[in-house]
Structure 1
Amino acid sequence: MKFVQRRAGRYEFRFPLPDDLAGKTAPPPWPDALAVLVNVRIGRFKTELIRSLKTNDGPTADRRVLAHIAEAQRLVEQARCFLRDGPVASISADQIAALARDHEIHLLGQDEAIRAKGLGLNMARDEEAPHDGLGMTLDDVRAYRLLVDELDRYTRQQAAQMRPGPSTSSFVNRAVEARGIVLAPDDPAWRQLELAFVKAQRDALAGIRARLDGEDVATPQRPAEQTGLALTAALRLWAEAGGAGARKPQPSSIAEAEGAVRRFVELHGDMPISAITKAHARAFRDSLVQLPKALPALLGRLPLPELLKQDLGKYPRRNAQTINKTLALLSGVLARAERDGHFEALSAWTNPFHVGFDVAPAEREPYEPFSTGELQRLFASPVFARGERPAGGRGEAAYWFPLIALFCGARRTEIAQLKIGDVRQGDGGIWYFDITNEGADQNLKTASSARSVPIHRELLRLGMVDMVTDRTKRHPSTAPLWPAFAPPIDAKTKAWTKWFGRYLGEHVVDHSAKTFHSFRHTFKRACREAGLSEEVHNALTGHAGGGVGRRYGRERRADGTLDCGISLARLHAEIDKIAYKDLKISRCNHVGLSKNMTQPFSYLKAPSKNLL
């Protein structure tokens, strides 16, 4: 593939920059985003980009390079725009005008306070009484006029030259910091602000000189300070989401949103949501770009500004999709506040967190189903063929999680949160998983995820019911089905998934598109191959396809819950049509069952009733 080359046994991405950029002068200051294109030592654009693809497998390199190509082309276009148009300002003209106006009001207010109290200068010293603080003495007026005249001359000189001086820059820095506005050092808004402050200062000094001539010049009223709902308060309202019966965010989403808000507050403070601008959101986004996927505990506890000062280069960086998800959560918090009317005072409010990255097409749908060969390698690996139970696999979860996902299409969290009582036997002796959110620490991704999934005959052969029966003898029905996944399970599930990713890479396939979620894709493909209708396999996987009609015809079960509109007997007959050709799986060594008992799945018949 183009832009892929092999060197020293590994593949790398090599992208020559186009002729209109390669070796050309890069006028400073260039945006931080373009730093990877610039040779800082000589101040010119590089002639090419080279990145390791971290693999020695050609097909894997061809897949991985797609994201690098898209990113390089995006940077090239950004560099061309930078050379053509110069840097883009990050705050609006209205915001610049408001800051300058506030500076003028500040200067006039300070003057009013000085003249009201006076300085108490007395050059003749012919009076012993101290100054009474009621206005200015004649010496005060003379000295003050000299100072104002000099400041006026200096300010008008800056305006004539269009070169703001250090004092003006200092005023701008303080104003920007006080408003919580974050600007990159190379942002053109700095110059626009400084020029606006020069004009505001000239207008204020004109008013002060008029006052010294006895004219009445009023200090304009300062606009009311922006107040309102703080971001942390908005987060609480979003998480609570009303009273009983209201649709609420999932606990995992709330936890992620709390982490995002904590990081935002560390960077900008707990701002009123009406004061948050896209400049704040962009600065937060760009800070997240610098953070790795995971950090040691000691580093992870550092506030964001301190964390960014650390050497994080040795950790793998988080991808654009993860950053976009964080921004989407914060966007959702503000969208809820908007529905509640917290932005009505703003004439044209837009959600500032709509600043996500464009994700490369190759990264938008990263998961792929497992091939037959990959499944054969998985079930010939030590956990399934030799009964090994690595510590990271958390006991029998290492064996059963992949099998349940493969033959039922369930999500990892749905499997991990099962209780003993969630494995049930219904009418006609049909065993099924009751996937629900009614137990402690049980959550579902969507409302349609609540469902009853018949246990596939292959899982019955492998000893699923025997394992559950053994657990039932020793524990109540409300106990976790998997001993290592007692509530809270979120962190345990994530840790288990990381272990499985490593196990998969060691024994089966090392590719970002092949993860535990690939079982769900494999199951959906097997449903189609077996001729199951979309309505049926959506009911099995908990997908919400089919429109509003999907919810018609649902019957209420004995426990008061509604089924999916398709009988359990029909689902049972349909799920047993699913087969994986030439796949052999060893039966779990549990409750005296032989772990060496194998049988080609393609020749299986329906299980006997005596087995149950």
Structure 2
Amino acid sequence: MAGSTHRTKVDGLWVFQLAIPADCREELARRFPEEYRGQKVIRRSLGTGNAREAEVKVREHLDKWRSRIDAIRGPRNPEKLTPLQLAAVEELRSLGYHISLDSEPDHEGAVPAPPAESARTFRELERGFAERRYAYAHGKMVEKLAAAGLDLDPDVALEGERQRIAARLDAVERAASVVAGDVAVNRPSAFATMDTLFERWKREARPTVSSIQECEFSVRRWREMHGSVAVDRITKPMVRAFRDAMLSFPTRLSNGEAALPLQTILDKYQDKDVPRASIASARKRLSFIKTLLSTAVDTGLIPESPAEGVRIKDDGAKPGQERRAFTVAELKIITDRLADQDESFRWVTLLGIYTGCRLGELVQLEAADARVEDGVTFIDINAAGGKSIKTGSSIRRVPLHPDIRNAFLAFVEGKKGRLFPDIRPGTNGDITDLISKRFNYWRKRVGLTGQGLCFHSLRHSFKDRCREAGIAEEVHDALTGHAGGGVGRRYGGRPPLKVLAEAVAKLQFPNELLQEHVEVNRSKSKTS
């Protein structure tokens, strides 16, 4: 499979590796002298020990180098595969099985197996993998249920996982059978399902780890509701049914309940007065299904998306679920109670108040991102070193407010690498997962239990401070990394750094509280 073939772990970090065909080495070295110098195998550190993050980066490298090799070699089809078989080859690649279309030996002298032989081998491999995956999941579920004291059949609890494994096996078997010529298929959409669209989207869109996990949730629940249906058999009523299910989906499920199939969950909580998914959550889950169906349209699998026109209207039926800003009084509570927290938690929270940066941007900051240019102290939000950013407009420079500027520089002084190395990813690989949960737990403990409050509310509060100070929308959009849509923003780029610094200096915070707290931070930084 692609993940294991093209990555290896060295000193705790994943490394990408790819054998370069002999007939392409000279031309690749000529075209890309800074990246390639004629070696048989290229290796690149992926800068992460997390397998999920590494998988995303491996696909990025594979796409880049394979497209370069294809550009040198031109179209290849020595086995004279039909267009449908070539489409199935591509589908297998999206599922992690690479079928070579070369007939020449590789750098080790090995001759690639014919596509039909490779397809049959992969089909048998996947059958074995499917059995082992379910056996492993079954053992883990037995342990989990016993630890939780739940009297539940593990096979029932694993129905969703069983369907996921079965859907993937079905997709591999169908595509492999087409390549091998074992079945007659007259349309490429016959072996494309929501699961295979998900794999293609991961490879082509190169989404963040958190986006992959969120989309995976939608695909899992879709499969539990509609099965492994071929993409050209998906109808608008099916999409509407999924939308309604996401709106009815209960929150605060136990781990055992969350593992149950979708319909079992909906039946269990039908007509019960329990919290349901927010409009925003349901809309996001539907949006991933719409994105995957758009991918099917873009690749010619279906003429139009059955999700077109299926929407979730925010009709105010669930008031209080929207995120809101912290009030000045609530900010006072936050800053009053921060002093007894550890340094990373204090500074991430203070930077959220004073910069309006996203939590994911702050926890990835490195010491080198605290910079001074033309007398302006700022933090540099960038994608260097494998950092994950939300959009292109997220890359920006955010000047520091005078209230915290000196104390922050004192905190950064002498540090190297990540500013907050003790903030680690959760089990889902998301670097914001644990710190976000900790912030929510802490703010409730200090009495901030209102609806719609979370770390992101600090970003809304920053926006409020900008509006109160009369800062132009163009400027505070540049500070917070919003794209904006004004005509003026399409000419001349973003406001200069000094303009941003002057705007930040105008912002009014509850200084009698925050300044006092910053002094506490500064003294703790010097003594720690």
TM-score tier by shorter-chain length is 0.5 to 0.7
> How far has the Cα of 1:263 moved from its partner?
2.0
Kindly report which structure 2 residues correspond to 1:10-21, keeping only aligned pairs within 5 A, or say none. none
Q: Does 1:450 align with 2:395?
A: yes
Please state how far the C-alpha of 1:592 moved relative to its aligned partner. Answer: 4.8
For CA contacts below 8 A with separation 6 or more, give which structure has more relative contact order: 2
- Is 1:496 the equivalent of 2:435? yes
The separation in 1 between residues aligned to 2:189 and 2:474, in whole angstroms, is 52
Alignment of 1:400-419 (within 5 A): 400-419=347-366
Whether 1:466 and 2:419 are equivalent positions in the alignment is no
How far apart, in 2, do the equivalents of 1:455 and 1:464 lie? Answer: 9
Equivalenced residue count is: 337
Q: TM-score, normalised by structure 1?
A: 0.49
Match of 2:422 in 1: 484
Amino acid at match of 2:419: L
Q: CA deviation at 1:595?
A: 10
Q: Give yes or no for contact 1:452–1:568 (8 Å, CA) kept in 2.
A: yes
2:297 is matched with which residue?
A: 338
Distance 1:357 1:272 in 2: 25
Question: Residue 447 of structure 1 aligns to which amino acid in structure 2?
Answer: G
Q: Which runs of 5+ in 1 are unaligned?
A: 1-222, 242-246, 390-394, 555-564, 597-612
Aligned residue in 2 for 1:232: 195
SS at match of 1:439: helix
Judge conservation of contact 2:425–2:431 (CA < 8 Å) in 1.
no
- Residues 424 and 432 in structure 1, CA contact (< 8 A), matched pair in contact too: yes
Amino acid at match of 1:277: T
**Separation of aligned partners in 1, 2:212 and 2:393:** 20
Following TM superposition, by how much is the alpha carbon of 1:468 offset from its aligned partner in structure 2, in angstroms? 1.4
| Alignment partner, residue 502 of structure 2 | 573
* Paired residue secondary structure (2:397): strand
Q: Is the 8 A contact 1:230 1:272 kept in 2?
A: yes
Match of 1:277 in 2: 235
- Which of 255, 276, 282 matches 1:297? 255
1-structure distance, mates of 2:472, 2:237:
49
8 Å CA contact 2:425–2:434 kept in 1: the answer is no
Do the aligned residues in 2 keep the contact of 1:370 with 1:518 (CA within 8 Å)?
yes
Could you tell me how far 1:327 is from its partner in structure 2? 0.8
> Which amino acid is the alignment partner of residue 332 of structure 2?
Q
CA drift of 1:343 comes to: 1.4
User: Residues 226, 487 of structure 1: CA spacing in aligned structure 2 closer, same or farther, 3 A cutoff?
Assistant: closer
Would the alpha carbon gap of residues 364 and 342 (structure 1) be closer, same or farther in structure 2, given more than 3 Å must change?
Answer: farther
Amino acid at match of 2:284: K
- Cα 1:363–1:351, aligned 2, differ >3 Å: closer, same or farther? farther
TM superposition shift of 1:331? 0.5
Aligned residue for 1:319? 278
> Counterparts in 2 of 1:339-358, with a 5 A limit?
339-344=298-303, 349-352=304-307, 354-358=309-313
2: CA distance, partners of 1:490 / 1:520 = 23
AA in 1 matched with 2:380: D
Indicate the SS of the match to 2:371. strand
Alpha-carbon distance in structure 1 between the residues aligned to 2:425 and 2:445: 30
Q: Which residue pairs with 2:111 in the alignment?
A: none
Task: Give runs of aligned pairs for residues 102-181 of structure 1, distance below 5 A.
Answer: none
Distance 1:532 1:368 in 2: 20
Q: What's the CA shift string for 1:423-474, capped at 9, x where partnerless?
A: 222233x32111112233x22222111101112111124x21122114x1xx
Q: Which among 377, 380, 383 is matched to residue 437 of structure 1?
A: 383
**Which residue type is aligned with residue 545 of structure 1?**
G
Checking the alignment, whether the CA contact within 8 Å between 2:358 and 2:459 is kept in structure 1 is: yes
SS at match of 2:422: helix
CA distance in 1, matches of 2:360, 2:460: 16
Separation of aligned partners in 2, 1:426 and 1:589: 27
> Does 1:255 find its partner at 2:199?
no
Among 368, 378, 383, the residue aligned to 2:324: 368
Deviation string 1:465-487 (CA, Å, 9 cap, x unpaired) is 122114x1xxx43xx22122245
The question of whether the paired residues in 1 share the 8 Å contact of 2:191 and 2:230 is answered with yes
The SS at the match of 2:378 is strand
- 1:530 aligns to what? 469
Distance 1:534 1:339, change over 3 A: same
Q: Which amino acid aligns with 2:518?
A: R
Q: Give the match for residue 145 of structure 1.
A: none
How far apart, in 1, do the equivalents of 2:525 and 2:242 lie?
56
Question: Following the alignment from structure 1 to structure 2, what is the Cα–Cα distance between the partners of residues 388 and 431?
Answer: 27
2:276 partner letter: R
Distance 1:551 1:252 in 2: 30
Q: Name the amino acid aligned to 2:423.
A: F
Q: Is the 8 A contact 2:246 2:285 kept in 1?
A: no
Structure 1's 490 and 534: CA in aligned 2 closer, same or farther, altered over 3 A? farther
CA-to-partner distance for each residue in 1:362-413, whole Å, 9 max, x for gaps?
74982333322222222222x2xxx322xxxxx3333122211221111121
Change (3 A) 1:513 1:305: closer
If each structure's helix is expressed as a fraction of its own residues, which one has the higher value? 2
Query: 8 Å contact 1:230–1:270 — kept in the other structure?
Result: yes
| Secondary structure, counterpart of 1:484 in structure 2 | coil
1:106-127 superposed Cα distances (whole Å, 9 cap, x missing partner): xxxxxxxxxxxxxxxxxxxxxx
Alignment deviations for residues 525-548 of structure 1 (CA, whole Å, 9 cap, x no partner): 212222322222111111112446
Cα RMSD after superposing both structures: 3.3
Q: State the secondary structure of the residue aligned to 2:329.
A: helix
Residue type at the aligned position of 2:390: K
Q: For 2:437, what is the secondary structure of its paired residue?
A: helix
Long gaps (5+) in structure 2: 1-185
2:246 counterpart of 1:288 = yes
Q: How far does the alpha carbon of each residue in 1:553-600 deviate from its partner, in whole angstroms, 9 at most, with x for none?
A: 35xxxxxxxxxx33223322221121124541213656754899xxxx
Of the three residues 519, 537, 544, the one matched with 2:458 is: 519
Aligned mate of 1:422, from 362, 366, 369: 369
Q: Is the 8 A contact 1:535 1:545 kept in 2?
A: yes
Quote how far apart the aligned CAs of 1:524 are. Answer: 1.6
Does the aligned pair in 1 maintain the 2:361–2:381 contact within 8 Å? yes
**Shift, 1:303, TM fit:** 3.6
Report the alpha carbon displacement of residue 511 of structure 1 after superposing the two structures with TM: 1.8
The change in CA–CA distance for 1:418 and 1:294 in structure 2 (over 3 A counts) is: farther
Residue 291 of structure 1 and its aligned partner are, at CA, apart by 3.3
C-alpha contact (below 8 Å) 1:369/1:519 kept by paired residues = yes
